[in-house]
Amino acid sequence: MTRFALTLEFDGTPFFGLQRQKDGPSVQQSVEEAAFRVLGEEVRLHSAGRTDTGVHALAMRSHLDITKDIAPFRLMEALNAHLRPEPIAVTRCEVVPDDWHARFSCVGRSYVYRIANRRAPLTLDKNRAWLVSQDLDHAAMHEAAQALVGLHDFTTFRSVHCQADSPVKTLDRLDVEREGEEVRVHAAARSFLHHQVRSMVGCLALVGMGRWPIERMAEALAARDRQELGLNAPPHGLYFVAASYPADN
């Protein structure tokens, strides 16, 4: 048995998330079915993170355990051939030790959220960014975001369906920057709660619009109450950017 680490890039628009779902297509199902066609054996895909319906990934780290003798490059090429025309690509494939686990060995995860801040409707970035037509003050958003960095109880920014044992997380980074008409929110932590990034972004957008004062972010966090959440940003602006592991340092 050989463990292969995969790096996946995907457009989440047609999928009900990364993990297998009972009522719709998933990235996991597509990769596992492609692997079966390549290898003739059933395998299970394990991944560093979970993504909701419509969420994208630039470099999701995953792994498969395979009995067949096959070279990493050949496996990558074969998977990509069988994944077409679905919007999933294996961009890297390598053999890793048996004790390496895409999820449990991961020590850091990062996301970026894209906001298209313009009046005109989206064409090329439709389903790939959140269109906000009202002017956003990205500097105010960034200042407000710093109240969330560090160790906190993030109950306010946690989905009611979250299955995490504790709402306490350490947020390592929450930065807001602008490039032209696009405002980007960068988030990094060891792990995140369900909907945490989207919930934080939605509230930061309220700050950027001037509907929330900067201080309101800290107040919402301190409330530890989902009812204090101002807005949950839509999924299609969110991208899983990278997963980090001890050997990367």
Catalytic residue ranges: 52
Which has the closest alpha carbon to 102: 166, 34, 168, 18? 18
Give Cα separations from 20 to 17, 23, 33, 103, 158 (angstroms).
Answer: 8, 9, 11, 16, 22
Backbone angles phi, psi at 36, to 5 degrees: -65, -40
Bridge partners of 95, per DSSP, are 4
Answer whether 37's CB lies under 8 Å from 82's CB: yes
Tokens of 207: 């700050």
**CA–CA gap between residue 13 and residue 81 (Å, rounded):** 20
**CA–CA gap between residue 22 and residue 6 (Å, rounded):** 24
CA atoms within 13 A of residue 17's CA, in its CB half-sphere: 12
Q: Which long-range contacts (CB under 8 A, 24 or more apart) does 126-134 make?
A: 127/11, 127/13, 127/54, 127/236, 128/11, 128/13, 128/56, 128/236, 128/237, 129/182, 129/236, 129/237, 130/201, 130/233, 130/234, 130/236, 130/237, 132/183, 132/205, 132/208, 132/209, 134/209
Answer whether 20's CB lies under 8 Å from 69's CB: no
